[in-house]
Amino acid sequence: MANKFKIKDINAKEILDSRGNPTLEVTVCTENATGSFSVPSGASTGSHEALEKRDGDQNRFRGLGVKQAVEAVENEIRKALKNKDVRNQKEIDNVLIELDGTPNKSRLGANSILGASIACTKVAAKEKNLELYEYLKGLETIKPSSYIAFQEYMIVPLANDVETALINADQVRNLLRKKITAKYSPFSANYGDEGGFVVEAKKVREPLELLAESIEESGLKNKVKIAIDVAASSFYENGKYNVDKKLITAGKLLDIYKNLIKDFDFISIEDPFFEEDFNNFSKLLSNFGEVKVIGDDLTVTNPDRLKMAIRNQSINGIIIKPNQIGTLTETLEVMKMAKENGIECIVSHRSGETTDDFIADLAYAFGVFGLKAGAPNRGERLAKYNRLWEISK
């Protein structure tokens, strides 16, 4: 009798992500089922992330095509995984890691590897007649957080159920839109890559003031908090930080954070310093333990980077992006290590997203501290919230 869990075929194709750039969709087929995963891509990437495979042909999608990644899946990866049992996630991921043979997955590409890794998980769940989040729970034991908070850049509704969180977020967002158009112009509430508003603020405090006012006027104080993703590496220049058109030291930047935390109701600050500055992350955390100090570019879902953060007591929260490391098994290992060391996990989208809703199942399966999926006004972001809402029902 044929083993229905054996991989019969693997296919890949180019699709477009939410920025209109090419990305990869991988489909794994077994006897009776198929599972597909569409790989997201980040604009802001840490230097220690696993690398995507891009074609580099400037005459085609500005060099961003992924035809070589498609070929990697349909040739080497297909051959290596054919007849493997999709239930053996660790074995599959180890085969992929060894097949690539580089420390940053640059030969086959993290996009090719992750696409195959998660597509295998999806088809295994189907073959076992389980919801994806139910199947994921069986792959690793990770202690859940005490509650789930849903994050998008600057507001975090705190609620015991998905529907209340979405309603509260919507209320604040609509007030915020009105405030933005009143302060800047009727045409100023534009949307960025992740669906959030983009405003021409002159000072780092301005968006926070608008958010605080919107939360206060909505009557949701203490029910909606503020989070910022600083991405400090993006404005780090020769040992200093370019803030409000001034070059300042890390010490001065730390003072800015102290004042902001005093004036606004923060739940978290993500990447507050340059991605190699474990020491100043630690200083911020030791001074403000009640605020989550989150590593993203600092840690890039990488176990070695997380170990360094643990050793330096740099963070109490970590962003989890599967495509930063390249396989599901490695992602779960980082999540488990974080939780075992008192560090909360926030499962996150990328700026170049697809309509794939896998991260909603990943967040729910392990009861993480937060899901960061963007503003709920575009299809690729709404897919995650709709899936989370569906699971909760």
Q: How confident is the model at residue 107 (pLDDT cuts 50, 70, 90)?
A: very high
Q: What is the pTM of this model?
A: 0.87
Q: Are 57 and 47 contacting, i.e. CB atoms less than 8 angstroms apart?
A: no
Worst-scoring range by mean pLDDT, 70-79, 98-107, 193-202?
193-202
The count of other CB atoms within 10 Å of the CB of residue 161 is: 12
Half-sphere exposure of residue 14: CA atoms within 13 angstroms, side-chain side: 15
Note if 67 is an active site residue.
no
Q: How confident is the model at residue 141 (pLDDT cuts 50, 70, 90)?
A: confident
pLDDT of residue 153: 38
Dihedrals phi, psi of 318, to nearest 5 degrees: -140, 135
Please write the tens of the pLDDT for every residue from 76-97. 999 999 999 999 999 999 999 9
Please write the tens of the pLDDT for every residue from 149-186. 223 335 889 988 889 998 999 999 899 988 888 887 66
Residues 6+ apart with CB under 8 A from 1: none
Q: Are 86 and 120 contacting, i.e. CB atoms less than 8 angstroms apart?
A: yes
Q: Quick one: the chain helix, strand, coil %, rounded to 5?
A: 40, 20, 40
pLDDT of residue 36: 97
Please write the tens of the pLDDT for every residue from 236-260. 988 999 988 889 999 999 999 999 9
pLDDT of residue 187: 56
Q: How far is CA 102 from CA 51, 92, 99, 306, 336, in A?
A: 10, 17, 9, 20, 24
Please write the tens of the pLDDT for every residue from 285-304. 999 878 999 999 999 999 99
- Alpha-carbon distance of 56 to 291, in angstroms, equals 42
Examine the pLDDT at 44 and tell me if it is beyond 80: no
The closest alpha carbon to 115, from 62, 60, 78, 65, belongs to 78
Note if 206 is an active site residue.
no
- Beta partners for 295? 318
The CA dihedral of 117, 118, 122, 124, to the nearest 10 degrees, is 30
The count of other CB atoms within 10 Å of the CB of residue 308 is: 16
Q: Which of 194, 344, 353, 380 is catalytic?
A: 194
3-state secondary structure of 356: coil
Instruction: Catalogue all structural domains in the chain, each as residue range(s) with its CATH number.
Output: 9-129 (3.30.390.10), 149-392 (3.20.20.120)
Q: Which of 53, 105, 225, 321 is catalytic?
A: 321
